[in-house]
């Protein structure tokens, strides 16, 4: 992954979280720190690019709000950009707090990007060890941004530079202080659909080999309708097309039975599964804006037997 590509991916995600924190009510996931680790120019540039791209997303909205760029930005952000990242982050952190209440003291974030959990919860610094796994370029970018925003890296935050789809093993974590005799929670968000099914199985196998029973993972996956479902305002189709055009095409989708069988083959059982309908009910109910759950994305919380 090129440096600029790594930075752009994390920046767009941070933009969506920052926009939601600043403008949307009620909050699904309030990442109030996101706006501090992207510059005003970056926020402005992404804003303009989104607005200028409205014809691709929806020509009717482009015409209806041609004199209202802020409404166009709101529509693109709330319909296309933010729903899945916001809700899956909220879900994952809910699971994390539950796991901590059960004694989990280690948390591994695969593809962490500009995640801000440790900065939003300094009161937990002596209760949870956090390991962020990502490309070196992305992690260098994050460290630079934290320094520029005058944030100190907490003692409980450990950076593990690795391509976790290729050369990652638990040994990478051990070298940063990870304890293999303690339960752990992994998060793998916004990643599975860019991997082949074989790559997902290999990664899960690496993660759970040598960690104790009770260790767990939160991840999202695309269902069997990913390449058939258009979605509201064609947003699912747009997502697939944009991924392909960016050079990182979506590669895998599953029925629930396939996911269940894959996890069982690795010694994991599903503790909780949220379908798009359940996600919409849990995180988007009674909203009066454009935000709603993506039609083909599910969340899973699975635990090692």
Give span(s): CATH 3.40.50.150, the chain: 83-304
pLDDT at 168: 82
pLDDT at 172: 87
Q: Which residues of the chain have pLDDT under 70?
A: 1-7
pLDDT at 3: 47
Q: Is the dihedral of CA 145, 219, 194, 45 positive or negative?
A: negative
pTM assigned to the model: 0.95
- Helices (H), strands (E): how many in the chain? 13, 7
**Domain topology for 83-304:** Rossmann fold (3.40.50)
pLDDT at 187: 98
Which DSSP helix (H) or strand (E) runs through 70? helix 69-76
pLDDT at 1: 47
Calculate what percentage of the chain has a pLDDT beyond 70: 98
Residue 90: phi, psi to the nearest 5? -60, -45
| Encoded tokens for 95 | 């699971």
pLDDT at 9: 78
At 197-224, the pLDDT tens digits run 999 999 999 999 889 999 999 999 999 9
pLDDT at 6: 54
Question: Concatenated DSSP letters for the chain?
Answer: --HHHHHHHHHHHHHHHHHHHHH-SS-SS--TTGGGSS-HHHHHHHHHHHHHTHHHH-HHHHHHTTT-HHHHHHHHIIIIISHHHHHHHHHHHHHHHHHHHTT--EEEEET-TT--HHHH-GGGTTT-EEEEEE-HHHHHHHHHHHHHTTPPPPTTEEEEE--TTTT--HHHHHTTT--TTS--EEEE-S-GGGS-HHHHHHHHHHHHTTS-TT-EEEEEEEBTTTTT---GGGHHHHHHHHHHHTT------B-HHHHHHHHHHTTEEEEEEE-HHHHHHHHSTT-SSS----TTEEEEEEEE-
Residue 246 makes CB contacts below 8 A (sequence gap 6+) with none
pLDDT at 5: 57
Pair 107, 187: CB distance under 8 Å? yes
pLDDT at 163: 84
CA distances in angstroms from 212 to 148, 175, 185, 268, listed in the order given: 39, 18, 11, 12
At 52-102, the pLDDT tens digits run 999 999 999 999 999 999 999 999 999 999 999 999 999 999 999 999 999
């Amino acid at each position: 992954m090129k440096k600029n590509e790594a930075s752009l991916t994390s920046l767009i995600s941070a933009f969506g979280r920052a926009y939601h924190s600043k403008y949307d009510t009620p909050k699904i996931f309030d990442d109030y720190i996101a706006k501090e680790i992207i510059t005003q120019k970056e926020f402005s540039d992404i804003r303009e690019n989104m607005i200028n791209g409205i014809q691709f997303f929806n020509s009717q909205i482009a015409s209806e709000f041609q004199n209202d760029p802020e409404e166009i930005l709101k529509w693109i952000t709330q319909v296309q950009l933010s729903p899945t990242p916001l809700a899956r982050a909220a879900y994952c952190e809910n699971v994390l707090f539950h796991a901590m209440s059960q004694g989990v003291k280690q948390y591994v974030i695969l593809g962490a990007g500009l995640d801000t959990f440790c900065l939003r919860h300094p009161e937990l610094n002596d209760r949870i060890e956090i390991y962020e796994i990502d490309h070196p370029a992305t992690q260098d970018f994050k460290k630079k941004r934290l320094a520029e925003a005058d944030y100190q890296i907490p003692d409980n935050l450990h950076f593990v530079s690795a391509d976790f789809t290729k050369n990652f093993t638990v040994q990478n974590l051990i070298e940063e202080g990870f304890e293999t005799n303690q339960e752990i929670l992994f998060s793998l968000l916004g990643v599975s659909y860019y991997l082949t099914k074989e790559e997902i199985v290999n990664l899960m196998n690496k993660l759970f080999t040598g960690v104790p029973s009770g260790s767990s993972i939160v991840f999202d996956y695309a269902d069997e309708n990913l390449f058939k479902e258009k979605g509201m305002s064609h947003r699912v189709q747009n997502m697939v097309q944009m991924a392909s055009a960016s050079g990182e095409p979506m590669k895998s989708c599953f029925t629930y039975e396939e996911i269940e069988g894959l996890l069982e083959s690795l010694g994991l059982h599903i503790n909780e599964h949220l379908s798009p309908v359940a996600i919409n009910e849990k995180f988007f109910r009674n909203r009066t804006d454009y935000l709603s759950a993506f039609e083909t994305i599910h969340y899973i919380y699975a635990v090692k037997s």
